[in-house]
């Protein structure tokens, strides 16, 4: 018992020392915008409680809107067609409002959103191939999409609100995450939930539903349903 307590205290001390080692920068309330020269990206990776607004356009553009004294601590760079957006390592930012980043690209294929960040679309994002959305750490997505296949992966109390058009929709969620997709009709939907998640989907041909723990799947349409339910889970037609 004593060893468990000592181990727990040591863990807390290490965790706290890591947090205090980060320099905290408070926003000065003077909101400014700054354009960044980034091109060639189709994937997006964002972290650190930043709001991203994505727009499909003929060219690439990145604009950061934040407190003037925080701009230099907000990193944007392109690595292997992935636009990375994050706070500078070693700094904890305390903005006076939301940190916003507006991005444009001819095409988008992947969104990796973590650390209570958000991604929104300013117009419909159309893709010839699959689009993947990964949310973790209480992150959010509100998006308008058109793609033959949309993959959604949610963990840690994340929320996805999706609309648009797709043929195949694949949702995998854990923790206490939620997916609202009634406005994203599909032919085939595959939904796998664990923990205390919920999902709403519309499918016309086929629904594969797996709900475990205290998870709930609700659907619209008249698909052929193949379901697996365990614990207090449920699959319900609306």
Q: What is the pLDDT of residues 119-140, one digit of tens each?
A: 999 999 999 999 999 999 999 9
Q: What share of the chain is helix, strand, coil (3-state, %, to 5)?
A: 10, 60, 30
Beta bridge partners of 84: 45, 77
Q: What pLDDT was estimated at residue 220?
A: 99
Q: Which domains does the chain have, with CATH numbers?
A: 22-107 (2.160.20.120), 124-238 (2.160.20.120)
Continuous segment of H or E residues that includes residue 16: helix 2-20
pLDDT digits over 140-153, tens only? Answer: 999 999 999 999 99
CA nearest 206: which of 191, 228, 196, 184? 191
């Amino acid at each position: 018992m004593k060893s468990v307590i000592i181990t727990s205290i040591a863990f807390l001390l290490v965790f706290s020392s890591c947090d205090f080692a980060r320099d905290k920068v408070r926003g000065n309330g003077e909101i400014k915008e700054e354009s960044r020269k980034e091109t060639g990206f189709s994937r997006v990776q964002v972290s650190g409680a930043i709001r991203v607004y994505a727009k499909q356009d003929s060219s690439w553009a990145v604009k950061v809107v934040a407190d003037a004294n925080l701009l230099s601590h907000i990193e944007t760079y392109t690595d292997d067609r992935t636009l990375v957006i994050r706070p500078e390592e070693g700094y904890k930012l305390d903005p006076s409002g939301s940190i916003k980043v507006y991005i444009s690209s001819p095409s988008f294929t992947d969104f990796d959103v973590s650390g209570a960040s958000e991604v929104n679309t300013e117009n419909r994002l159309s893709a010839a191939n699959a689009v993947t959305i990964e949310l973790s750490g209480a992150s959010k997505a509100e998006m308008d999409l058109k793609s033959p296949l949309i993959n959604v992966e949610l963990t840690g109390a994340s929320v996805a609100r999706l609309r648009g058009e797709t043929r195949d929709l694949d949702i995998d969620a854990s923790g206490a995450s939620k997916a609202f997709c009634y406005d994203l009709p599909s032919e085939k939907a595959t939904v796998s939930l664990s923990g205390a998640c919920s999902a709403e989907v519309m499918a016309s041909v086929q629904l594969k539903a797996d709900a475990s723990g205290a998870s709930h799947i609700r659907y619209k349409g008249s698909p052929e349903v193949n379901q697996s339910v365990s614990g207090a889970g449920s699959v319900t037609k609306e």
